[in-house]
Amino acid sequence: MLRYYKRLLLLTVIALNVTFSARAELPEFHLTLNHNLFYPQRLEVPAGEKIRLIIDNQDDAPEEFDSFDLNREKVLFPGRFTVIYIGPLEPGVYHFFGEFHPNQAKGQIRAISKGHGGAD
């Protein structure tokens, strides 16, 4: 059992160090929420890279960004910028919506690989 915990300890130390190892600046992309609509409704991002998605909620009420495709769920407080870290994504289309206005506040992120025209 002691050997087992030693191995576990070693693996976790490695995981912690990898977690916080030096990383490059992430590319930033912006979305705006206004009158319960996301702008732009279709956002193109590079595939295979982690990105910072910055959402400006210009409405007077909170919204909740939700995407099963992206595995993200986050409250967008009114009058604030919210940062959501996404990816690296495989090329493709990833849908998202606002939980409080799912029929209006919706859009998609299209992850595009370099050298290709677009994701279908």
Q: Which is nearer to another protein, 34 or 61 (CB)?
A: 61
> At 1, which amino acid appears?
M
Query: Least Å distance between CB 58 and another protein?
Result: 19
Which residues have a Cβ under 8 Å from the Cβ of 90 and sit 6 or more positions away? 47, 48, 111
Rule CB under 8 A: which residues touch another protein?
1-2, 4-5, 8-9, 12-13, 15-16, 18-21, 23, 50, 62, 64, 66, 68, 71-75, 77, 83-87, 90, 99-100
| Minimum CB distance to another protein smaller for 2 or for 117 | 2
Containing 45, the helix (H) or strand (E) segment is strand 42-46
Shortest distance, position 52 Cβ to another protein, whole Å: 9
**Closer of 66 and 107 to another protein (Cβ):** 66
Taking the complex as a whole, how short is the minimal distance between the CB of residue 98 and another protein, in angstroms? 10
**Cβ–Cβ < 8 Å for 36, 44:** no
Q: How far is the CB of 34 from another protein (least distance, A)?
A: 20
Our CB check for another protein shows the closer of 58 and 68 to be 68
Contacts of 72 (CB under 8 A, 6+ apart): 65, 66, 84, 86, 96
- The b-or-e profile of 84-112 (16+ CB within 10 A means b, else e) is bebbebeeeebebbbebbeeebbbbbbbb
